[in-house]
Chain A
Amino acid sequence: DIQMTQSPSTLSASVGDRVTITCRASQSISSWLAWYQQKPGKAPKLLIYKASNLESGVPSRFSGSESGTEFTLTISSLQPDDFATYYCQHYHNYPWTFGQGTKVEMK
């Protein structure tokens, strides 16, 4: 099974900060990676698919990139609505696996 190692587990930041979250796959997943945002008590929301494609309706301050088996979610300028937990997920094959999550909290 492919393991997804996400870091950091918690990130303290301020409004306007540039935020970067990393996910590393244990083997090649091509670009079959998604990023989700989840707020407490709510279902996750798709932000990025196929590593770098922005889901319709998602603000352009969110972006995704890849380098080999390392994937990055960047928020260019953190907004109040962005304080949440973020998960990566591979869908290269079954079983799908998620990263452990990164909680972005207010500094």
Chain B
Amino acid sequence: EVQLLDSGGGLVQPGGSLRLSCAASGFSFESYVMSWVRQAPGRGLEWVSSITRTETTYYADSVKGRFTISRDNAKNMLFLQMNSLRADDTAVYYCAKSVTLEIDHWGQGTLVTVSS
């Protein structure tokens, strides 16, 4: 059974940093594109970043230069390093696995709150 366990969210001040983690199990982690998708309170879904099997990375313009996605295939872990956080980064962040490229499995989400 595919499982994605997101963690690392919390309350952080504007300008601060946070590192999200996603522990994957139940599939060949190294073979799939992995992504982060976020959802601000009461709002829709927003793609944040993806990393391919060959570790090519892609970012939404809203986070480019501030966020860094990475993966550790040996440990089946996905990460999102978030720096220079702003109030509009407040959201539930979901770890997501793609099969072809559509997202077929999602983590449970971890809440990031940026506030002073």
B104 and A46 contacting across the interface, CB-CB below 8 Å: yes
B45 and A50 contacting across the interface, CB-CB below 8 Å: no
| 8 Å CB interface, B44-60 against A | 44-47, 50, 58-60
User: Size band of the B side of the interface?
Assistant: 20 to 34
Tell me, yes or no, whether A62 is within 8 Å of chain B by CB.
no
B106 and A44 contacting across the interface, CB-CB below 8 Å: yes
B102 and A43 contacting across the interface, CB-CB below 8 Å: no
* Given A34-B103, A50-B100, A94-B50, A89:B109 Cβ within 8 A: no
| 8 Å CB interface, A29-63 against B | 32, 34, 36, 38, 43-46, 49-50, 55
Tell me, yes or no, whether A65 is within 8 Å of chain B by CB.
no
Shortest CB-to-CB span from A35 to chain B, Å, is 9
Q: Report which of A34, A46, A95 forms a contact with B61, defined as CB distance below 8 A.
A: A95
- Give Cα distance in the complex from A101 to B101, angstroms: 20
- Give Cα distance in the complex from A34 to B35, angstroms: 15
Q: Which residues of B contact A (CB under 8 A)?
A: 35, 44-47, 50, 58-61, 94, 98-104, 106-109
- Majority-rule SS of A interface residues: loop
**Other contacts beyond A44-B45, A49-B100, A95-B60: 13, CB < 8 A:** A1-B61, A36-B45, A44-B103, A44-B106, A46-B102, A49-B99, A87-B45, A89-B47, A91-B98, A91-B101, A95-B59, A98-B47, A100-B44
A32 and B101 contacting across the interface, CB-CB below 8 Å: yes
Task: List, in ascending order, chain A residues with CB within 8 A of B108's CB.
Answer: 43
Q: Report which of B61, B98, B106 forms a contact with A43, defined as CB distance below 8 A.
A: B106
Task: List, in ascending order, chain B residues with CB within 8 A of A36's CB.
Answer: 45, 103
What are 9 A-B residue pairs whose CB atoms fall within 8 Å in the complex?
A1-B61, A32-B101, A43-B94, A44-B45, A44-B106, A87-B45, A89-B102, A91-B101, A98-B45
B60 and A43 contacting across the interface, CB-CB below 8 Å: no
Task: List, in ascending order, chain A residues with CB within 8 A of B101's CB.
Answer: 32, 91
